Amino acid sequence: MKYNLRDLLLTIILFLIIPLFSCEKFAQDDAKKNSLNEKDSGGEQTISHQTDNGVTTKNSSVNIFEKYLSSLDKIPLPFMHSSVSTVPNISNGYFDLGFQKFKLQASYKPLGLLYYKKNVAIIEYSIADNGHALFVITYNAQGNKVDSLSLYSKSGANEKVECTEFLNISKEFKIQVNDTTYFWNVDERGDRIGQIINKKSGSTVYQISDNGKILKGVSK
């Protein structure tokens, strides 16, 4: 069989071009597959977690937040408490991985779920010098923090002053914090002298809005 020069050149060109098309097709298919995988994941952040038996699992941030919420018990309303009271055991079986990820830095444990609607409100607490410090934190449905509030911001004591706060949260999520402050004279060593010389009382009201913002109301 005889080949002329034209046929020979055509054969060589086809031999060189066909592999290039195959490589390009493979790259396109691979890019398409990666794109579909990203779409299926919804762009959610994943977190690796090693269980007690050494098995590493991956959970999305949203799934961890939902599991954390489902582990919290709802706080009965109206809820009344003071800065010198013990904290009731409401959410003993909480999901610790979720708490550690979404808590305030100062928090020790979650008290419970205040509400879960289009956004979320949780109360957490920590140990303070003269009792407990309570915090309310609001989140959107994806677990992003919207707002937070220290409920006992005035509480504390020293030789001259002692302040106690009293909390009342209504069914409408109106937060009222009443405070009472006592004053003493002290001697040169810093010890209190005699009886209380003065007493002041105040009240601050907050309202959790529909978008999760905690709005300060009347203070007197």
What is the residue extent of each domain of the chain? 1-43, 73-219
Question: What does the mean pLDDT of the chain come to?
Answer: 81
More confident of the two residues 3 and 159: 159
Q: What letter does residue 74 receive in the DSSP assignment? A: B
**In 77-136, where does DSSP find H-type helix?**
96-102
Most trustworthy range by pLDDT among 21-35, 38-52, 146-160: 146-160
2 pLDDT higher than 80: no
pLDDT tens per residue across span 132-174: 899 999 999 999 999 999 999 999 999 999 999 999 999 999 9
**Secondary structure of residue 130 in the 3-state scheme:** coil
Give the closest residue to 21 by CA, choosing from 29, 11, 31: 29
Decide: 175 and 165 in contact? Cβ < 8 Å: no
Residue type, 213: K
Give the closest residue to 119 by CA, choosing from 218, 8, 213: 213
Across 21-41, average pLDDT: 43
